[in-house]
Structure 1
Amino acid sequence: MGLINMNHKTNMTLAVFGLGHVGLPTALGFADLGWNVIGVDSDRSKVESLTKGHVPFFEDGVDSLLKKHLKSDKFVVSSDSNWAVNQADILFICVATPEYKDGSADISQIENLAYQLRDSIKSYKIVIQKSTTPVNTAEKIRIILSQPKENEEVQSADKFVDVVVIPEFLREGKAIEDFFNPQRIVVGLDDMSLKETIINLYMPLFQKIGKEEQDLMIFTDTRSAEISKNAANSFLATKLSFINMVSDLCLKVGANIDSVSRSIGADPRIGTDFLKAGIGYGGECLPKDLNSFIDSGKTNGVNFSILEEVQKVNDNRVTVYLSQIKDTLPNLKDMSFAVWGLAFKPNTDEIRNSPAINIINKLIEEYAKLRLYDPLAMPVFKNQIGTSELISFASDPIDAAVDSNGVLILTDWPQFKEQDLSKLFQVMKTPIIFDGRNMLDRDFVTESGFEYYGLGI
């Protein structure tokens, strides 16, 4: 069958379905490794934009790779899924898995794509599920693909399909960096005869970075691979909520959460990553994956109460931050604030589930006047949320702070650390900084004449 021929094939064609923050970096990464890649998306306007070399979102390094491989012909973009299926040897599922109101994952896009693939496949294919999904989604895909089409009574043997799970661990804003420098590649296989084919797929990457497959590849079953992604993000969310909970204690007793974080992070069993206190996590992945994992627990009769508390702690961060502002400035009506940062984290224009947006909405309810600045996310904010008479947009951080009653640091963009505090002091009406990301040096800021409020410092 096709599997035997793929094990050492050097001219495989890959089709990547879904060209968002996961699919597009994945497609361009494999194109850069020398594979022929077809990027497929049902959004015709996105396809048209990408074909012209325009990326519809910000992701560092994607723009240059897109232009490079449109020119090299290693990457083509299409909305014709049927054509792509029959050109390709391996099919990647990278479509979105949003959440329902109850927190469970909506995998309807995956199921709909699986039916499309089933109706288009005419010969052996490997289907790789990269979208983050609840456990047992691969089995659902396999069942759909194994069903005959409406006009067929039995699925023919030459149309046999293998389903593999290779969850993505790409960080938004650093997706290209993570593709070419992975910490691990988790591969879920229920048929270990596929192992050599998957190693062959990634061999150009191993050669590029000078590593062996055993250094990076973790082979397991599909269910374990699916759980691995959800568990990883849930654990990271847990670390963040833990340190934020400790920061509340530090605030009450006069301790310093940064010192506490360094102290416990020095233990190699704990590590320093995700131990920075602040206004909480956001974005598309951590909140959604945590909710999906909690739902998987409920569905399978497992008590994930610890994760429910993680969620509650994170939801409360905005309240803690706003209370700090109101305790300092009780009447917010007609107060003017500079808002530094809209994105949920630096190096992205993503504002979905950003704590900054929740804080802005709450301040608008208090009739505070806000002047916003973000290096990347202001166009997205204008497009998705719009404007109001209480909101204006600044050209830089200092411009945002002119005649303001306070600066609100809501995203830890590195350039916010580099601002001239003497100039900032001169333009503000009242020199107060509410540092929601604990970015600045408290002692230096206060010595510069500011009132400074961090979270737990």
Structure 2
Amino acid sequence: MKVTIVGTGYVGLVTGACLAEIGNDVFCVDVDPRKIEILNNGGVPIHEPGLQEMLRRTRAAGRIQFSTDVKASVEHGDIQFIAVGTPPDEDGSADLQYVLAAARNIGKYANGFKVIVDKSTVPVGTALQVRRVVAEELKARGLEGSDKHGVSVVSNPEFLKEGAAVDDFMRPDRIVIGIDDDHAGQIAREKMKRLYAPFNRNHERTLYMDVRSAEFTKYAANAMLATRISFMNDLSNLADTVGADIEAVRRGIGSDPRIGYHFLYAGCGYGGSCFPKDVQALAQTARENGHTLRILEAVEAVNDDQKEVLVNKILRRMGEDLRGRTFAVWGLAFKPNTDDMREASSRRMIEALLKRGASVQAYDPVARDEAERVFALDLADRADDMKRLHFVKTQQDALTNADALVIVTEWKEFKSPDFAHLKGALKAPVIFDGRNLYEPEAMAELGIDYYAIGRPHVELDPNGSRH
């Protein structure tokens, strides 16, 4: 099938590559010539395991192309996926300007019946706005009401985890399609059924519903996952106070099949491109409709506070004045297997350390370049602080002569380090672990002063022994 993907960001690029992988003829378009140049030169503007190899195969087979030619992209695809960004507006609502601009272009250049698929995360009612914008453009061309140039707007939200997106797309647990129950909708349903047929061979994974319910489903899913994270983070702070171990609690409640273990880990707050903005957008949708989603308001507040928890532990241990102190930081991306720095906990934590006069030696196996770009913007008016932020090439380089190690992202390579080398490289054997990678008892036996999230701190005597 001929498919157009509008937007070569995270969702668009993965969607385009995976649809090309199963044999479709895919045209990816973007208004950013820099991205298109990177893609046409064999590069990938984002880090996602397996994506570059898939793009290499599909490009070599001639099943995917990248261009800034909007007219050609609209003429190419019978199915037009809109996969552009929906950043938060000032009030927290999703900014739809890029979605509606894409819709306007489709109406302006449509050369036949088009199925328009909202793949971007959009609030309830967006499909109606997209349809109106397309209708305006068709009317301006004198094509309003033409069966030949008709459209059907479908909601097909993505459920991709950064770091596992290719596998999530190729082996989906569900495919949600919201579609109108009219003649155009029936045409669209048949086209979408054919497009997703390869993913339904073993058993039917597609859930058909009305458009508004499909739009709502995406927000509800992310809000639920964010709620689990904030719930555990809230409990972890109480565990710190009462002397409980949040990891033991997690195992105790996660073993209940009604609860399960997924997204039940305490840490230093969630980030990324989805959870923060989607929680805000759903809460704003509620407010616009005269409701208050009290649980989600709390979820966001807890997450905001949680990004200060690790800093507060550092300050209690090291003092408020951090001038002359150097901290090793392992992990910058908001989660492992990605270079995404959006709403990453490392940003708040590092800025707080720099503000108090500390120096930071930061390491991330993938996100270094993106982190350098982001912090250059974050600290644009804080030149002195920027001078004390150093991005290093190895995790060992980060440790050299540092006063303490701070772990922010749970990359696999951090899970079993050489603790003897770690102790020798640090000025003092102190670890602040924002992801609970190690066992407090084991750290104490190694003579490491270990501070985790919601886990007991085992005191060491002055010579470094446990007592």
Structure 1 length-normalised TM = 0.94
Select the residue among 407, 410, 433 that pairs with 2:408: 410
SS in 2 for 1:167: coil
1:206, distance to aligned residue in structure 2 (A)? 3.0
SS in 2 for 1:434: strand
Residue 170 of structure 2 is aligned to residue 176 of structure 1 = no
Residue 129 of structure 2 is aligned to residue 140 of structure 1 = yes
Distance in 2, matches of 1:83 and 1:419, equals: 52
Look up the match of 1:440: 438
Instruction: Confirm or deny: 8 A CA contact 1:15 1:90 kept in the other structure.
Output: yes
Select the residue among 371, 378, 391 that pairs with 1:381: 371
SS in 2 for 1:419: coil
Distance in 2, matches of 1:369 and 1:77, equals: 42
SS in 2 for 1:19: coil
Q: Deviations over 1:272-323 (max 9, x none)?
A: 0111001000011100100000011011112212101110000001222211
Give the count of matched residue pairs.
Answer: 441
Q: Aligned letter for 2:407?
A: I
Structure 2 gaps of 5+ residues are 377-384, 456-467
Look up the match of 1:288: 277
SS in 1 for 2:158: coil
Instruction: Confirm or deny: 8 A CA contact 1:89 1:125 kept in the other structure.
Output: yes
Instruction: Confirm or deny: 8 A CA contact 1:51 1:70 kept in the other structure.
Output: no
Distance in 1, matches of 2:431 and 2:77, equals: 55
Residue 416 of structure 2 is aligned to residue 426 of structure 1 = no
Instruction: Confirm or deny: 8 A CA contact 1:28 1:75 kept in the other structure.
Output: yes
Q: Aligned letter for 1:391?
A: L
Distance in 2, matches of 1:187 and 1:113, equals: 20
Instruction: Confirm or deny: 8 A CA contact 1:278 1:455 kept in the other structure.
Output: yes
1:335, distance to aligned residue in structure 2 (A)? 0.9
Residue 251 of structure 2 is aligned to residue 262 of structure 1 = yes
Q: Aligned letter for 1:152?
A: G
Q: Deviations over 1:198-256 (max 9, x none)?
A: 2211112334xxx222xx11110110000000011011111000000100111001100
Look up the match of 1:92: 81
1:168, distance to aligned residue in structure 2 (A)? 0.4
Look up the match of 2:11: 22
Look up the match of 2:117: 128
Structure 2 length-normalised TM = 0.92
SS in 2 for 1:171: coil
Is the deviation greater in 134-143 or in 192-201? Answer: 192-201
Residue 339 of structure 2 is aligned to residue 345 of structure 1 = no
Map of 1:233-248 to 2, 5 A cutoff?
A: 233-248=222-237
Distance in 2, matches of 1:98 and 1:318, equals: 21
Instruction: Confirm or deny: 8 A CA contact 1:60 1:176 kept in the other structure.
Output: yes
Q: Deviations over 1:125-163 (max 9, x none)?
A: 111110001100011111112233435374423111011
Instruction: Confirm or deny: 8 A CA contact 1:403 1:427 kept in the other structure.
Output: yes
How high is the sequence identity, in percent, across the aligned residues? 39
Distance in 1, matches of 2:197 and 2:386, equals: 53
Distance in 2, matches of 1:236 and 1:334, equals: 40
Distance in 2, matches of 1:168 and 1:105, equals: 16
Distance in 2, matches of 1:395 and 1:36, equals: 40
Instruction: Confirm or deny: 8 A CA contact 1:33 1:205 kept in the other structure.
Output: no
Select the residue among 342, 347, 360 that pairs with 2:350: 360
Give the aligned CA root-mean-square deviation in angstroms.
Answer: 1.3
1:349, distance to aligned residue in structure 2 (A)? 0.5
Distance in 1, matches of 2:41 and 2:198, equals: 28
Q: Aligned letter for 1:136?
A: G
1:361, distance to aligned residue in structure 2 (A)? 0.5
Distance in 1, matches of 2:18 and 2:103, equals: 24
Structure 1 gaps of 5+ residues are 1-11
Distance in 2, matches of 1:273 and 1:68, equals: 33
Is the deviation greater in 152-161 or in 224-233? Answer: 152-161
Look up the match of 2:93: 104
Q: Aligned letter for 1:394?
A: V
